[in-house]
Structure 1
Amino acid sequence: MKRVTIRDVAKLAGVGIATVSRVLNNKGEVSPTTRRRVLKAAKSLGYIPNSLARSLISGKTKKVGIVITTLLNPFYATVVTGIESVLASRGYTLALYNSNEDPKKEREAILTLIEQRVDGLILAPVEYESENVKYLIEHQIPFVLVARRVKESNVNFVVADDFKVGKIATEHLLEKGHRKILFLNSWKSSSAKLRLEGYKEALKEAGLSVNAKFIYSLAPNVEVKPILESVLSNRNRPTAIFCFCDSIALEVVKVLKSIGLRIPEDMAVVGCDNLDYTELLDPPLTTIDISRFEMGVKAAKILLELLDSENKNFIQHTFEPKLIIREST
């Protein structure tokens, strides 16, 4: 992504560079109409004045920005709790924004946090090929990715081994005798990409071909019920379902019960995240623990290290997933 300059802002606003400079530095007289036009152009282009970028790098506000998918997701609620437990003890306050899996909302949140002069960011990127992360890299803004990776390798991140998540979940179902395994995946994120690769690898090692009709990438707010009803109406239907996360698994359990299928006798179900309610379900859900609280703690500690030291080496930490076997399989 091309770095935005003051010249770009001037061109879009239809004014001279000197006028843009006066507006951004709040010096000199500029008409209210022109000021609004310049500020609108700067925001739409994502322009960051050098002085603002420097204040971010120097880390003086004791405020950290967090951008996640949604706090309504229990997984991210726990991750944020882990982040807060570390940063609050060091006197930092948090500014939290939800992206709702929308790259545009994610970009708006990042720009707003930059305007608030946060010391750094912790981000769960919406996309694996993320323009927003490229933007942070190009502007040298301190940040740590949490729960998700991106295509670029020159970043700090804390994640679970998502390839292993997909592989061990599928291997568990294979060990239970299942050969037709439906995978209800998420979309666009690195976690979705890697868990799918792990799912395919487990099938391959078992000498099974991958059936594309047994793989679904669920966009946000897509209902599970119509998909399941369609899949289960076929003669060649699955006998087990691997769900990207426990939230999807919960919906799956509801649908299966509503149509009279028994778990695990008629359909085995595996989730991921080991959310607190999963052991209270009927039957208790087999899931995968990926250290969600510890993930938040580690992300916060890495960000503090970035802010407190001159260390320019990238810090990348991967948690090992752990299969939690319960009655749903």
Structure 2
Amino acid sequence: MTLRDVADRLGLSANTVSRALAGKDQVSEATRALVAAEAKRLGYVPNSHARSLVSGRTMVVGLVITNPSNPFYAALISAVERECRAAGYSVLLLVTEDSGENEKRAVQQLLRFGVDGVLGVATESRSDVWDGLSEAGIPVVQLSRDASGRGLDFVGTDVESAIADAVTRVARDGVRRVWLLEEDLRISTVDARVAGFRRALDELGVAPEHALVLKVPTRRTSGASLPWRPDDAYALAANLITRDNHPDLVVTANDYFALGLYRAIRECGLAVPDDVRVLGYGDHPFAAYLHPALSTIRLPADEAGTAAVDLLLRRIADPDRPRAVIRLPAELVERRSTE
């Protein structure tokens, strides 16, 4: 069914039907309701391609993320889709798996589709690829990783402060040896966690030789279904932790690493939190059900998605507005593992 079919059934002009469906003021409420009811009865669906030719917009937003199985990004996708739907936009989701080549292909696809704007998590291995979108006049809001250094809008978490504040709060009562199990990736969020970790231990007066940053091999770039594996952290920790040589506190870059760490600690005859306190990152769904329940840092995924869509829509409406940077606070969720 076409717009002309709706108009013919009602004895109205196609122009009147178009204005009624678009919610224009020139049409009375009674006519608007009549047109809407007839369009629904006939199963009329507006032609988005034709509409985009008139409006100059596709009403599509691109969303580029690294891995949808990451619980943070899963929640972020849901928030972005909800907010875009409310604003009349559809979402085109592309996944890079932290691959620079996949990121380059994703940007090329977005240029071909001619989306109205893009929300993107950069791999940081090829941050220059985002320039093509800006040069084509497509607004970009970076999420999570502030990687480009090219003046793009950014929405993310204040990771450094989140780690520094959390470590300071849980590393009490004479903690002397503290480890950070971090991802072996060169990305801004890793750098921010390390900076926050070191800042907290400086404030606590922990000697540098007792503040270790241990890099866990990552599987992100291999396209694994999960961005992290507990056994990677387990293998590293099992080779380092003994009854006579163990940290008082371990901070993990994600809660999956904490799973592997728990096993390594237990196999040494040690206990959490009596011998080793553990602080996770991400507050993944299983964190509260570990034994003991895992203290962790909860990230504002829903808030980030909402803020990013709002910022992108404002950028679409006003391309020349000043750059905006939004860093949202995270929340420390204290449970048994750091008591």
Is TM more than 0.5 here? yes
Determine the structure 1 residue equivalent to 2:123. Answer: 126
Larger radius of gyration: 2
In 2: Cα distance, 1:128 partner to 1:318 partner: 22
**Pair 1:251–1:297, CA change in 2 (3 A):** farther
Q: Are the equivalent residues in 2 in contact too, given 1:169–1:242 (CA < 8 A)?
A: no
Q: Are the equivalent residues in 2 in contact too, given 1:273–1:290 (CA < 8 A)?
A: yes
Q: Describe the superposition over 1:28-81 as per-residue Cα deviations: whole angstroms up to 9, x where unpaired.
A: xxxxxxxxxxxxxxxxxxxxxxxxxxx9xx961111111111011111100111
Deviation, 1:85, is: 1.1
3-state secondary structure, aligned to 1:232: coil
- Give 1:244-263 correspondences, 5 Å limit: 244-257=253-266, 260-263=269-272
Question: What stretches of structure 1 of length at least 5 have no aligned partner?
Answer: 1-54
Q: Describe the superposition over 1:269-304 as per-residue Cα deviations: whole angstroms up to 9, x where unpaired.
A: 111222333222222211112211111111111111
Deviation, 1:90, is: 1.7
Q: Are the equivalent residues in 1 in contact too, given 2:100–2:126 (CA < 8 A)?
A: no
Determine the structure 1 residue equivalent to 2:181. Answer: 184
Q: Are the equivalent residues in 2 in contact too, given 1:59–1:307 (CA < 8 A)?
A: no
Deviation, 1:232, is: 1.0
- Give 1:94-243 correspondences, 5 Å limit: 94-127=91-124, 130-150=127-147, 152=149, 154-186=151-183, 187-211=185-209, 214-221=212-219, 223-233=232-242, 235-243=244-252
The amino acid of 1:81's aligned partner reads S
Q: Describe the superposition over 1:154-182 as per-residue Cα deviations: whole angstroms up to 9, x where unpaired.
A: 11011111111221232133214322111
Q: Are the equivalent residues in 2 in contact too, given 1:182–1:241 (CA < 8 A)?
A: yes
- The alignment's TM-score, normalised by the length of structure 1, stands at 0.75
**Pair 1:126–1:270, CA change in 2 (3 A):** same
Deviation, 1:236, is: 3.8
In 1: Cα distance, 2:253 partner to 2:140 partner: 26
- The alignment's TM-score, normalised by the length of structure 2, stands at 0.73
Determine the structure 2 residue equivalent to 1:90. Answer: 87
Q: Describe the superposition over 1:9-46 as per-residue Cα deviations: whole angstroms up to 9, x where unpaired.
A: xxxxxxxxxxxxxxxxxxxxxxxxxxxxxxxxxxxxxx
Deviation, 1:102, is: 1.7
Deviation, 1:130, is: 2.3
**Pair 1:233–1:263, CA change in 2 (3 A):** closer
**Pair 1:174–1:93, CA change in 2 (3 A):** same
Determine the structure 2 residue equivalent to 1:71. Answer: 68
The amino acid of 1:230's aligned partner reads N
Cα RMSD (Å) of the superposition? 2.5
Report the number of matched residues.
273
Question: What stretches of structure 2 of length at least 5 have no aligned partner?
Answer: 1-51, 220-228
Q: Are the equivalent residues in 1 in contact too, given 2:246–2:276 (CA < 8 A)?
A: no
**Pair 1:87–1:251, CA change in 2 (3 A):** farther
Q: Are the equivalent residues in 2 in contact too, given 1:61–1:119 (CA < 8 A)?
A: yes
In 2: Cα distance, 1:239 partner to 1:259 partner: 14
**Pair 1:310–1:133, CA change in 2 (3 A):** closer
Deviation, 1:140, is: 4.0
In 1: Cα distance, 2:282 partner to 2:212 partner: 22
> Percent of aligned pairs with the same residue?
26
Larger CA deviation: 139-148 vs 184-193: 139-148
Determine the structure 1 residue equivalent to 2:326. Answer: 317
3-state secondary structure, aligned to 1:163: helix
Q: Are the equivalent residues in 2 in contact too, given 1:128–1:149 (CA < 8 A)?
A: no
Q: Are the equivalent residues in 1 in contact too, given 2:164–2:199 (CA < 8 A)?
A: yes
